[in-house]
Structure 1
């Protein structure tokens, strides 16, 4: 058994950045990755970048086949770059295989070449990410018509009839994308409302725009079973009125969330604790229940974003080579974006959340149609909403449903973190025409609630 200073299981954003950092400090690092198709992690191979590439290609009327080819070229280049970034370091060894814990600080790696390797790590960092969560529906498992978000981006042929199970953010992104490519898309969701956590005015606007784009919604859907008829899947479902409906699909996309990838780790052989969802339990410095074992990124549960994984690296870096003052609990202000059309971006409180908490607020609200740049972009759909604390003039939260929202939400988040009063954004000199200059008008006067 070989002893290594640092073992990192999983080539994702936080893990690969940590590996590079430790190696350049002169420390030995073993990077274990289960597949050579996942160098660099989920973001560059099956999630953020390839999906956003396809969303943009669909909006630009690129054919599905050409878009897939272009996406594959991009991910191959990124994968190669990420592998070389680590493999070129003298202090890093990359091993392809599945890691299993055999004790608190030892692992066994079943390599892709068929050999078994045993290692002991002075430090171990678990960065295995998450996997699609598959609902328990009769006829779903091992069904040739069923795909996850990963397979959805690797289809050689555009499905003409696509049914998406799950009306959350992932489901909506894929629905919008496949509709733009030319698929007929139906979303099935067991809830009575799509986007139930969003403010009603925002949710209604999003649903109306997606419906106008051709997407069909079946809410309160109870899927009884999935079967096969000729070369199509048959979905039998009922709604809350027990009315039975039959749908036919070329493909069924499962978009019901993701769960931490811990099953293959054999954590029962160590004292590493997990919660009821399989997520590794960590403290405010990302320590697991075993000393000198950390968890990074999606595997620990919570928000599943590559920028959270990167910030996990910063917390660990600060502990190992800084003053140890960074904490998970520092991340109270985290912006998010959903790449539908127009994009939806948020940070902080929604109006619904503020009302639930009894938080007093000023409401600033503006239609996207009033923004000159929206007219230039030929998309005046959407709305901007910002909540401000009347006692301090500090921003409590923002929901931006407008073109380029994914960019300007970062300005709001920065203002919140730096405790900058909203008037500074109101009086800022912006370039023209831009979406950001909407803040000049948005913050003129609060609306009556």
Structure 2
């Protein structure tokens, strides 16, 4: 049995970065990955990078086939780079195979030829990510026209008509992206409210803008069944008591993701999972087994690649430094939804502040007043910033505007540093930029 100082199960962002760092320090590191197409993890292969590449090239009006070719070249380059990032280290090794725990520190790995080997790690890091959730709708699971957030990235032909089940953030990104290439997109969701987490005024703007490009929404509906026909899927749903049917080339299930733990053999260990199947960790990302950690989506919570990267920092701090970093320190986390224009948030929305009876001063500014938005010929949207009237510190921001995903990081930094909003208001920005809007937004 081969023994390693460190074994990392899965090639995701936090795990691969930890592997590279530890191997560069001369420690033995084994990364086990079951699919060669997943070298580098979800983000670069089936998540952030390919989806944003398709979204961007849709905005550029490339054909779908051209955009897919660009996406494949990009992910292939990154996949190769990530493999060699580990494999080229003298003490690093990448093993193709599927890992299963035999005990807390011993793994059985099923290799591509179905043979098995066992490996032992002094320290083990579970980094297996998450899988799409497929709702138990009759006929959906076995439909040959079914797509999920993973298989949608492998499409080579543009669906003429696409039904998306789920109007959450993932569903909206896919809806906007496929619509930009010319697909007829129909979105079905059980919730009668559109993106209810967001402020109502912003939700109304986004709904209006997405329907303006041809996306069709049916909210508060029940999807009853999926039936495969000769060349199409027939989707049956109930809306306001009326049974309706839609024929579609594909049905995309965008109904969330769940931690990928089912086949890890955790029942053979002292590692605990919660009711959702997520690995239970403490404030240092330690599992209930000694010298075993969990990184990224597999532990539940926010499913962002930058959270996985911060997990790496927390763990590395324990292994090489003072171990003072904690999950509980992670109080300021921005997020973006890459529709056109993108929606970005950090901290409190106005709706959340009202619900919590938090006193705030609201700064609101329409994107049409930003010169750079006019230059980019997309002046849709709004800036909203909430400020504590007593401390003058920023409580949160919601930005629906071009390049909001860049501006939100500036605001997040100000919140983290507890700067008064006047620092952003009075700052000298380059011109023309979207960030300079803060001079006007915060007046």
Query: TM range, normalised to the smaller chain?
Result: over 0.9
SS at match of 1:67: helix
Structure 1 segments unaligned to the other structure (5+ residues): 445-449
Please show how residues 55-204 of structure 1 align to structure 2 within 5 Å: 55-204=55-204
Q: Report the Cα distance in structure 2 between the residues aligned to 1:123 and 1:25, rounded to whole angstroms.
A: 15
Shift of 1:19: 0.6
2:229 and 2:17 map into 1 onto residues whose CA distance is 48
In the TM superposition, residue 114 of structure 1 has moved relative to its aligned partner by: 2.2
Contact 1:5 1:27 in 2 (8 A): yes
| SS of aligned partner of 2:285 | coil
Alignment-derived partner of residue 34 in structure 2:
34
1:333 and 2:332 correspond: yes
State the SS of the aligned residue for 2:109: strand
Aligned partners of 1:98 and 1:264 also within 8 Å:
no
| Corresponding residue of 1:350 | 349
Q: Which residue of 2 aligns with 1:293?
A: 292
Compute the displacement of 1:247 (Å).
0.7
Check conservation: 2:144, 2:228, Cα contact below 8 A. Answer: no
**How far apart are 1:152 and its partner, in Å?**
1.2
Indicate the SS of the match to 2:97: strand
Which secondary structure does the structure 2 equivalent of 1:337 belong to?
A: strand
Match of 1:422 in 2: 421
User: Which runs of 4 or more aligned residues in structure 1 lie more than 4 Å from their structure 2 counterparts after TM superposition?
Assistant: none
How many residues are aligned here?
443
Shift of 1:221: 1.3
Structure 2 unaligned spans of 5+: none
Partner of 1:389: 388
Under a length normalisation based on structure 1, what TM-score does the superposition of the two structures give? 0.98
| Alpha-carbon distance in structure 2 between the residues aligned to 1:26 and 1:149 | 37
Distance between the aligned counterparts of 1:113 and 1:37, measured in 2? Answer: 17
Give the aligned partner of residue 362 of structure 1: 361
Cα shift at 1:229: 2.6
**What do residues 390-431 of structure 1 show as CA deviations (whole Å, max 9, x unaligned)?**
110000000000000000100000000111100011111111
1:373 aligns with 2:344: no
Structure 2 residue 208 is matched with structure 1 residue 208: yes
- Following superposition, the deviation at residue 230 of structure 1 comes to 2.4
Given that residues 28 and 91 in structure 1 are in contact (C-alpha distance below 8 angstroms), is that contact kept between their aligned partners in structure 2?
A: yes
Shift of residue 105, structure 1, vs aligned partner: 1.2
1:92: how far off?
1.0
Helix, strand or coil for the counterpart of 1:317?
A: helix
Match of 1:403 in 2: 402
